[in-house]
Amino acid sequence: MPSHNLAKLKIDDLEIIGYSVAAEETVVAMPQLDTCFDIGKAPDQVISINNVLLSHGHIDHCAGIAYYLSHRNFSGQKPGTVLVPGNMIRPIQQILDAWGVLDGSKVPANLVSVEVGQEYEIKPNLFARVFPTKHSRGSVGYTVIEKRKKLKSEYTELTGPQIVELKKQGVTIDYPVEIPIVTYLGDTQYAEFGQLDYVANSKILITECTFYEDEHRERAEIGRHMHVEELAKLVRAMNNKHVIITHITHRTSLAAAKKMLKKAVDKQDMGKIIFLMDKRARLQ
Ligand SMILES: [Zn+2]
Ligand SMILES: [Zn+2]
């Protein structure tokens, strides 16, 4: 019996499983990308995923890290790779060291300190690019990008042997292309993320939208979170095909949030937005 009853969505061939309620827990995994964004309380379903990408140090986003790593060790899996914003690497290591003392054995981990503007290979041809967000000191978001090579248009008519021949002659017949698959914003205030082309053009955008009600604008400002009016502005400025909303406050019901979203967002954008925690959108 899995530890959590997770939300489950499917977009084309990509599954998205997770749980996200503000201040409670956020974990969003994409098994086909071997990637888990944040790790809340480490649900059983994400333990076998090899890469965890942490956005910031709030406990509802990364309390599960020691359990994830230790449980992989316990079940004979290789240490998980955890991308950690640079300013968090020391405290995360200290947490793991302390758990190692309590547990009687070291918690094996492959911690990678990440910097804004850099990218990290998560599996062959798949990279996580890091960009800054506006939430806590050093908080980051990630875009998972597939890198492929595409045949130049002048060679698309050639047969296999002709291509092999050209390659032998040292002719460059292809060029690199980048396909931004998904962007995860973690927790953040509104910022002009659309200025980053790989964010604006990600097929899937996973974004927080914590607050909806008019009287919650100040809460959004203080907690450095997004209000639905800002989400509407954000979505308008981007080209994402699908937008998944995470991190709703428990102060607003999903039904009420949906209504306020509908009011705030442009009509043509409404069809591409889903709430991660919307049971009606789940595919089990
Ligand atoms: Zn949070
Ligand atoms: Zn936070």
107-131 pLDDT, tens per residue?
999 999 999 999 999 999 999 999 9
Does residue 280 or residue 219 have the better pLDDT?
Answer: 219
**How far is residue 273's CA from residue 252's CA, in Å, rounded to a whole number?**
18
pLDDT given at position 144: 98
How many CB atoms neighbour CB 24 within 10 A? Answer: 13
- In this structure, of 159-163, 230-234, 278-282, the range with the lowest mean pLDDT score is 278-282
- Cα 59-61-62 angle, rounded to 5 deg: 70
Q: In what order do the strands lie in the sheet with 174-184?
A: 119-123, 126-132, 140-151, 174-184, 204-208, 242-246, 273-275
Distance from residue 171's CA to the centre of ligand 2 (Å): 50
Distance from residue 26's CA to the centre of ligand 1 (Å): 7
SS3 11: strand
pTM score of the predicted model: 0.95
pLDDT given at position 284: 40
Distance from residue 225's CA to the centre of ligand 2 (Å): 8
The residue type found at 125 is: N
pLDDT given at position 124: 96
How many CB atoms neighbour CB 284 within 10 A? Answer: 6
Two tokens at 210?
């914590």
Which residue stretches of 158-196 are H helix? 160-168
Distance from residue 246's CA to the centre of ligand 1 (Å): 9
**How far is residue 185's CA from residue 226's CA, in Å, rounded to a whole number?**
11
The pLDDT tens digits of the residues spanning 149-202 come to: 999 999 999 999 999 999 999 999 999 999 999 999 999 999 999 999 999 999
Distance from residue 74's CA to the centre of ligand 1 (Å): 29
Does residue 159 or residue 280 have the better pLDDT?
Answer: 159
The pLDDT-based confidence of 232 (bands split at 50, 70, 90) is very high
Asked whether 207 and 246 are in contact (CB, 8 A), the reply is yes
Distance (Å) of CA 170 to CA 144, 153, 155, 166: 31, 18, 14, 6
Which ligand is nearest the CA of 136, by number? 2
Distance from residue 185's CA to the centre of ligand 1 (Å): 11
Distance from residue 206's CA to the centre of ligand 2 (Å): 15
Distance from residue 53's CA to the centre of ligand 2 (Å): 14
pLDDT at 221 over 90: yes
Distance from residue 53's CA to the centre of ligand 1 (Å): 14
pLDDT at 38 over 60: yes
Q: What is the DSSP letter of 248?
A: B
The pLDDT-based confidence of 283 (bands split at 50, 70, 90) is very low
Strand (E) or helix (H) holding 143: strand 140-151
Question: Average model confidence (pLDDT) for the chain?
Answer: 95
Q: What are phi and psi of 190, to 5 degrees?
A: -65, 135
In the chain, % of residues over pLDDT 90:
95
In the chain, what is the straight-line distance between the N-terminal and C-terminal CA atoms, in Å?
Answer: 15
pLDDT given at position 3: 82
The pLDDT tens digits of the residues spanning 48-90 come to: 999 999 999 999 999 999 999 999 999 999 999 999 999 999 9
pLDDT given at position 282: 54
pLDDT given at position 281: 60
Asked whether 37 and 29 are in contact (CB, 8 A), the reply is yes
Instruction: State the average pLDDT over residues 248-264.
Output: 96
In the chain, % of residues over pLDDT 70:
98
